[in-house]
Amino acid sequence: MDKKIIYMDHSATTPVDSQVLDEMLPYFTKNYGNPSSIYSIGRESKKAIEDARERVAKAVFAQPREIFFTGSGTEADNWAVKGVAYSNKNKGNHIITTTIEHHAVMHACQYLESDGFEVTYLPVDENGLVSPEQVLEAIKPNTILISIMFANNEIGTIQPIGEIGKIARDKGIYFHTDAVQAIGNIPINVSELNVDLLSISAHKFYGPKGIGALYIRKGVKITSFIHGGAQERGRRASTENVAGIVGLGKAIEIATLNIDDYNKKLIELRDRTIFEIMKKIPFVRLNGHQHKRLPGNVNFSFEFIEGESLLLMLDMKGIAASSGSACTSGSLDPSHVLLSIGLPHEIAHGSLRLSFGKDNTHEDIDQLMKELPVIVERLREMSPLYEKVKRGN
């Protein structure tokens, strides 16, 4: 019995767009040449990579030679944080980041701490926002890098990247932003925003998995980690994932071209869902900022229940959702992001993230709103605490 799956977890990953797939396919079979080879099918691969590089550059208003392909967004984050740290350790050893970063940045920072670097983790307010003033105050003479995510993967909060970028630039400190969730949702111009390094991951905007990119502003001092060849201008060795790179290029082109229509649709679905959940289900809390949030992101905490059971029951009804980031759902610990915005432990356990995408419809929301209130009520029936509160009312 195959149920129709209603997919509401686009922040975890997205399906590959058919146009993207069509462009990729020849590079598996017909145009399989190694881009480093001199003969024609090698050159074709090389050209495909450079075309993709141009598309990526165009999407974020950078120069093609400032775009470097990586194996993933996580690799891009690791490279940016550790690469800048090691390359600039003679200048200083202090890094500023936040308490709500993706683990790719957070764990990279923790690793650096174990290697003698000093890291300031800026707290966020109850909406998940970090203020430019906080950043300014945290800067020390030995600060070499500020790494703050563009938009949060769990609660969707969008940071004031432009203002932070300006501060960093004025102080002469490198500024990295993890834009993995933002690309395709927010127009990004690295020059206007004064961003020095920016991480990208293709599978978050209808491209393939296993390919990412790091924008590195010309002149930024950064150490390389993968040695063994002259690819990516000697900065990231290994034979290129040609099909993946082509897919990333096409996907980012589509994503940035259609960004306004896409956003309009997602915002409509998002705001309707937020409105209906708040109207129909008591004891809920919207996590993240009301407006400064990703167009497709909905994140709620439901008091008296565990997110885990909620997700399982939604899954049984064919609704694919998440309790936080896909990477942390394996561990099922309360999310560091929700704890950072001040949620108590027991409520941080009961959260639900819905992230909409291009194939979601109002019928999907109808279905969600048919199931969700019933499931929440059913799970709450088992909670002695809820019984007490209900009787108290």
Partner 1 sequence: MTKKKVMIGMSGGVDSSVAAAILLEKGYEVIGVTMKIWPEKEEEGKLKEGGCCSLSAVDDARRVSYKLGIPYYVMNFQDIFEEKVIDYFKDEYLKGKTPNPCIACNRYVKFEAMLNKAVSMGIDYVATGHYAIIEYDENYKRYLLKKSVTQAKDQTYALYNLNQEQLSKILMPIGDYTKDRVRERAKELDLGVASKPDSQEICFVEDNNYGKFIEENTTSKIKSGYFVDTKGNVLGKHKGIIHYTVGQRKGLGIALGKPMYVVKLDLDNNNVVLGENDDIFSKTLIASDLNFIMIDKLKEPLNVKAKIRYSAKEADAMIYPMEKGKVKVEFDSPQRAVTPGQSIVFYNGDIVVGGGVIE
Contacts to partner 1 by CB under 8 A = 111, 114, 308-309, 312-313, 315-316, 327, 330-333, 378-379, 381-382
5, 278, 312, 327: the active-site residue:
327
Closest CA to 225 of 113, 68, 119: 68
E-assigned strand segments in 107-240 = 118-122, 143-147, 174-178, 197-201, 212-216
Rounded (5°) CA angle 335-149-159: 100
DSSP assignment of 281-299 equals -SSEEE-S-SSSB-TTEEE
Strand partners, 9: 355
Q: In 3-state terms, what secondary structure has residue 145?
A: strand
**Which residue, 170 or 315, has its beta carbon nearer to partner 1?**
315
- Report the C-alpha dihedral over residues 187, 192, 196, 197, rounded to 10 degrees: 0
Taking the complex as a whole, the smallest distance from the CB of residue 34 to partner 1 amounts, in Å, to 31
CB of 329 to partner 1, least distance (A): 9
CA distances from 145 to 96, 97, 138, 206 (A): 6, 8, 11, 31
Cβ-based nearer residue to partner 1, 134 or 309: 309
CB-neighbour burial class of residue 28 (10 A; exposed 0-12, middle 13-18, buried 19+): exposed
Give whichever of 261 and 381 is closer to partner 1, judged by the CB atom.
381
CB of 349 to partner 1, least distance (A): 8
Give which of 281, 282, 173 is closest to 217, Cα–Cα.
Answer: 173
Using the minimum distance from each CB to partner 1, give the nearer residue, 6 or 255.
6
Q: Which is nearer to partner 1, 167 or 375 (CB)?
A: 375
CA dist 285 and 351 (Å) reads: 9
CB closer to partner 1, 287 vs 328:
328
SS3 of 295-310: CCEEEEEECCCCHHHH
The least CB distance from residue 111 to partner 1, in Å, is 8
Tell me how many degrees the CA angle 63-164-74 measures, rounded to the nearest 5: 60
Report in angstroms how near the CB of residue 60 gets to partner 1 at its nearest: 30
Q: Among this protein's residues, is 109 annotated catalytic?
A: no
Min dist CB 331 to partner 1, Å, is 5
User: Mind telling me the catalytic residues?
Assistant: 327
